[in-house]
Amino acid sequence: MDTFEILKKLTETPGPSGNEGGIAHVIAELWQPYVDSVTVDRVGSLIAVRNGQGKAPRQRLLLAAHMDEIGLMVRQIVSHNGYGFLRVTNVGGVDIRQIYAQQVVVHGRQELPGVLGCLPPSMLPEEKQNKPYDYEDLVVDVGLPAEEVEKLVSVGDFVSFRQPLHQLLGKRVAGKSLDNRASVTAVTLCLHYLAQRTHTWDIIAVATAQEETRLLGAYTSAFSQRPDAAVAIDVTFGKGPGVNDANAFELGGGPTIDWGPNVHPGMYRALKEAADAIELPVHTATHSRYSGTDAFGLQIAREGIPTGLVGIPLRYMHTMVETADLTDIERTGRLLAEFITRLDDKFLESLAAGMMEEK
């Protein structure tokens, strides 16, 4: 499989949190050859099931990679000299310092290309000069008269960023929505690997909706699918100039396996053992409270679900130039596939027994 081409297709498809229909369709096409069923649930998450080869009733593992991206929403339509402009607000954790002069698509009654503009600093009040713009300063300009804008756009319409995926040197890539289309790509690679191997458990691959705003898809898919165990796949912080924290990781150095309150100790150990078995480089990431990922939503569904968390290092998170290494994405797919092929009928018993062992 061509990792870059898959990631390019995924990142360049719009899918702001709460408006994931378009990206769900693209992912469904990618996953269809490797699974036995594909459905979209009531909140918009895409759920694909690949049957295992074990004796029925089989145990079930859920893989969750959120498919939504940060974006904007129209909150006001204003006119100036007969032309229409849009005031917007954020959908998810948009870094407002990054969005001035970005290209966008307004998802109204038809898709409208536009740009995010503002007055130059010299024309702003002195107290606003040489400071980051805020949403009161910015407008989306689609180049149409106000009358046409009002016919085509409504308050509440979504706005997505428009940015191609760029190939940097080596295996580095940069673009928008690698958070979390990088992880969707990794799950795609995992399903491709599993098509060539034998696995006992059923696999439920979920491209979850609205992670950036409320973890909605994780809560609802874990509740409805009732898996025996789950793994969330998301991005984590990549090292770069000025970022030397112990909880940031080198691009190209391999995925992370998280340890913390949202992770079952047995799932951490099993993922680490799978990585060691194929001599795949991984790093341990930690969270002391809430991981900020779908792992939280998966973990607390119903009676509680043993959950693991795998991360792909990413620089410049929540910007239009998010940067990752294709090697990390490919290794994440391999890690997931190896973990899955090692699951047997006694795995859940070992998890429970491990919780009772004296440390």
Which pLDDT value is given to residue 355?
66
Per-residue pLDDT tens digits of the chain, which is 359 residues long: 899 999 999 999 999 999 999 999 999 999 999 999 999 999 999 999 999 999 999 999 999 999 999 999 999 999 999 999 999 999 999 999 889 999 999 999 999 999 999 988 888 888 888 888 889 999 999 999 999 999 999 999 999 999 999 999 999 999 999 999 999 999 999 999 999 999 999 999 999 999 999 999 999 999 999 999 999 999 999 999 988 788 899 999 999 999 999 999 999 999 999 999 999 999 999 999 889 999 999 999 999 999 999 999 999 999 999 999 999 999 999 999 999 999 999 999 988 876 656 54
Q: Which residue from 143, 89, 69, 137 is spatially nearest to 320, judged by alpha carbons? A: 69
Scored b (16 or more CB within 10 A) or e, 20-43 reads beebbebbbebbeebbeebebbeb
In sequence order, the β-bridge partners of residue 259 are 286
Q: Which residue from 359, 357, 355, 9 is spatially nearest to 182, judged by alpha carbons? A: 9
Which pLDDT value is given to residue 139?
96
Which pLDDT value is given to residue 121?
82
Positive or negative CA dihedral for 173, 327, 37, 44? negative
CATH number of 3-69+176-356: 3.10.20.740, 3.40.630.10, 3.90.230.10, 3.40.50.2300?
A: 3.40.630.10
Q: Which residue from 335, 331, 168, 170 is spatially nearest to 253, judged by alpha carbons? A: 331
Which pLDDT value is given to residue 357?
61
Name the residues annotated as catalytic: 211
Segments of 287-355 assigned E as strands: 307-314, 322-325
Cα separation, 167 vs 157, whole angstroms: 31
- The residue extents of the domains of the chain are 3-69+176-356, 71-161
pTM of the model: 0.95
CATH 2.40.30.40 fits 71-161, yes or no: yes
Which pLDDT value is given to residue 289?
87
Three-state DSSP state, 201: coil
Residue 313 structure tokens: 């290092």
Residue 351 structure tokens: 């998890």
Positive or negative CA dihedral for 291, 295, 298, 304? negative
Which pLDDT value is given to residue 246?
80
Residue 81 structure tokens: 């000299």
Ramachandran angles phi, psi of 146, nearest 5°: -55, -40
What DSSP line would sit under 103-159, residue for residue?
EEEEESSSEEEEEEE---GGGS-GGGTTS---TTT-EEEEEEEHHHHHHH--TT-EE
CA distances from 38 to 6, 189, 219 (A): 19, 17, 19
Ramachandran angles phi, psi of 24, nearest 5°: -60, -40
Ramachandran angles phi, psi of 15, nearest 5°: -175, 60
Which pLDDT value is given to residue 63?
98
Specify whether the CB–CB gap between 44 and 88 falls below 8 A.
no
Cα separation, 173 vs 171, whole angstroms: 7
Specify whether the CB–CB gap between 162 and 104 falls below 8 A.
yes
